[in-house]
Structure 1
Amino acid sequence: MKWKLHTFEELTVHQLYEILMARNAIFVVEQECAYQEIDGHDPRSFHLTLKDGEKLAAYARLLPAGVKYSVPSIGRIIVDPAYRGSGSGRKLLEKSLDIMINEWGADEINLQAQVYLRKFYRSFGFEETSAEYLDDGIPHVDMKMLVKKKALKGSE
């Protein structure tokens, strides 16, 4: 299994097609939700993939501050059905948070969670910031994680 973080421009046509096909298969077909999945945020986002050989096992879209919110956010989180239950979703979120915190220096991270996954996101330190609402007919809740920075030695 191999991680790769791409800017939009770094994605080949075939990689982009694979990502969009996987997102469509899960968010539109599997979840039976007809909506505009391609929302215009992809060109200004980073695309994190986990590949098992040539197969896309998991994916997340990492949005820098200012793209969707004033702070960085994670979206379009997917795990291929063949890899669900393997821990790939947990590894995907861990890797996403590592990039945003340790490489981007994020102090806060937002996401829109499907309600059935809020316990999963809470396990990473996300807290709800909204009441439940329907987004394209699917119950969601907004969540935020405040990054706890370790105190520097000598500044205590």
Structure 2
Amino acid sequence: MLEIQVKSFKELTTLELYKLLQLRSEVFVVEQDCVYQDIDGKDEQALHILGFKNKKLVAYTRVFKPGVYFKASSIGRVVVSKHERNHKYGYDIMEASIKAIKSYYNEDLIKISAQCYLKQFYTNCGFKAVGESYLEDGIPHIAMIKEN
């Protein structure tokens, strides 16, 4: 089970910020071989959902209130360390992210831009695909929504 922490950008310690950027880079840039601008100026507006195992950051998302990323509230940068994926921590971090949107923003509608190969995972989390797939940073994505 993950220890979950929810923090605003200002509440993050320098070490936590370093570790979350390191994890995002490890997966999205190196593992997925995708050159893109991860540090996009939106982290300051996000709530950061951190998942720790034995005090090590192994899972992470960032969530936004409506109007920042999409018209609806949203979850992005969903990441689990490669060596921890067999524990299904993706479900834990998504559940914590959905709860954070409800408790911090009082929102039920959530929109995500999901990598197509993870469509079933997000479907299992209660999301439904909308529209056609599209390329985002050279990787096929699809919009998905969840309404509580």
Aligned to 2:88: 87
Secondary structure, counterpart of 2:140 in structure 1: strand
RMSD: 1.1
Q: What is the TM-score with the length of structure 2 in the denominator?
A: 0.94
Cα distance in 1 for residues equivalent to 2:108 and 2:51: 25
Where in structure 2 are the equivalents of 1:17-96 lying within 5 Å?
Answer: 17-96=18-97
Higher share in strand:
2
Secondary structure, counterpart of 1:125 in structure 2: coil
Per the TM alignment, residue 102 of structure 1 is displaced from its structure 2 partner at its CA by: 4.1
Per the TM alignment, residue 5 of structure 1 is displaced from its structure 2 partner at its CA by: 0.5
Higher share in helix:
2
Q: Which has more radius of gyration?
A: 1
Higher relative CO (Cα under 8 Å, sequence separation at least 6) belongs to 2
Change (3 A) 1:45 1:103: closer
Matched, 1:133 2:134: yes
Cα distance in 1 for residues equivalent to 2:15 and 2:133: 37
Per the TM alignment, residue 125 of structure 1 is displaced from its structure 2 partner at its CA by: 2.1
Deviating runs (4+, > 6 A) in structure 1? none
AA aligned to 1:86 is H
- Residues 132 and 142 of structure 2 are in contact (CA less than 8 Å); yes or no, is this contact kept in structure 1? yes
Per the TM alignment, residue 112 of structure 1 is displaced from its structure 2 partner at its CA by: 0.5
Cα distance in 1 for residues equivalent to 2:108 and 2:96: 16
AA aligned to 1:25 is E
Secondary structure, counterpart of 1:140 in structure 2: strand
Per the TM alignment, residue 103 of structure 1 is displaced from its structure 2 partner at its CA by: 4.2
Question: Residue by residue, what CA displacement relative to the aligned partner does 1:58-116 show, whole Å, maximum 9, x if unpaired?
Answer: 00101111211121100000001121020211111111112212443212000000001
Aligned residues: 147
119-128 or 133-142, which moves further after superposition?
119-128
